[in-house]
Amino acid sequence: MELVWPAERYLASYVAALERGWSADNVRGKTAADEELKKISQDRAGFLAELVDREAKGPPVTLPDGSTAQRLPGYRRWIWDGEFCGSIGLRWQPGTNELPPHVLGHIGYAVVPWKSGKGYATLALKWMLAGAKSEGLSYVELTTDPDNLPSQRVITANGGVLVERFRKPAQYGGADGLRYRIDLR
């Protein structure tokens, strides 16, 4: 398994995952997958360029309630083992560890169901932590749902410490969440 930069040579496998119902957006799900399929069909190169946007030049981000928010600098890497296995993304605000209220964490990840249980998310997060450190972050925060035990195991396997149980912002439906922190020093 490796992390690859989104590129044309991997795109067909990514599209196949979207067509099977997977989405990197675990809140908006199929709606987000359909939006990505449409973008890919209209402008493949533009879609790929938006996935690596360290200067936040891309369009606003659509939140789960349909509202939009300013994009943060960030990028996504794809989890690859000869075919697409999932996605992991990093986002940050330059010069600070703090995130705006509409951003639940620095790192988000999702593995396709047919590749789960192989340890890919744990390894991808380990590798992404090095990327976060190189962006100047001294820690990262990740959030998950209280009933998402596999995600909690991935985070704690990488040194994550539970810092709080919280209510997600209204844009995310106000549900309960767990916030973990991983120290990068």
Contact 50, 35 (CB under 8 A): no
Residue 150 lies in a domain: no
Residue 160 lies in a domain: no
* Residue-range definition of the domain harbouring residue 39: 2-137
Residue 180 lies in a domain: no
Residue 79 lies in a domain: yes
| Amino acid identity at 161 | V
Residue 6 lies in a domain: yes
Q: What is the pLDDT of residue 28?
A: 79
Task: State how far the Cα of 173 lies from the Cα of 63, in Å rounded to an integer.
Answer: 10
Residue 29 lies in a domain: yes
Residue 174 lies in a domain: no
The torsion angle over the Cα atoms of residues 17, 34, 152 and 117, rounded to 10 degrees, is: -10
Residue 41 lies in a domain: yes
pTM of the model: 0.93
For residue 15 the two structure tokens come to 């599209």
Closest CA to 139 of 88, 176, 92: 92
Give me the tens of pLDDT residue by residue for the chain, a chain 185 residues long. 999 999 999 999 999 999 999 999 887 788 889 999 999 999 999 999 999 999 999 889 888 888 899 999 999 999 999 999 999 999 999 999 999 988 999 999 999 999 999 999 999 999 999 999 999 999 999 999 999 999 999 999 999 999 999 999 888 888 999 999 999 98
Q: Which residue bears the tokens 């973990």?
A: 180
Q: How many domains does the chain have?
A: 1
Contact 145, 161 (CB under 8 A): no
Supply the CATH number for residue 49's domain: 3.40.630
Produce one character per residue of 159-179: b if its CB has 16 or more CB atoms within 10 Å, e if not: ebeeeeeeebbebbeeeebbb
